[in-house]
Copies of this chain bind each other. A is one copy, B any other.
């Protein structure tokens, strides 16, 4: 359903959100999130391109969250690394369905709209400050 890359990106972002002001190296993030280091570095590059994380290169460099966790949604993260593609036009390209999807594709798009809504309304701040006793990425 959700790609491995999405899972990894979200873990990384959550980890960064937990220590908003401390630079984290790829190795540190990889260890905390159990994501393969070399692949994580690619994912972080993608997140950097959209400004979701900020990078400082060189010695004692690392990554920081690119914007305050209250204003960063998991929707942005997902769209950055592996976008949810809503169904806007008929996959069969039936001309008469251009303006109005048929019931099948409308239903499929509804389902995706639901996900989109959940993700748009979920900020990193909300995840971090959840009263849930299970702390993300953390074996308490």
Contact = CB atoms under 8 A, between A and B. Distances in A.
Nearest to A3: B1
B97 A134 contact: yes
Contacts of A110: 118
Interface stretch (A21-29, A44-52, A88-96): A88-96
B115 A115 contact: yes
Interface string A101-140: 1111111101110110011001000111010111111111
Copies in the complex: 2
A3 to B, nearest CB: 10
Given A94-B139, A114-B111, A140-B96, A104 B10 contact: yes
B119 A104 contact: no
A74 B110 CA distance: 13
Contacts of A100: 132-134
8 contacts: A1-B115, A10-B104, A34-B92, A97-B139, A100-B132, A102-B138, A111-B114, A114-B115
A40 interface: no
A7 interface: yes
Interface in A57-111: 74, 84-85, 90-92, 94-97, 100-108, 110-111
A85 B115 CA distance: 15
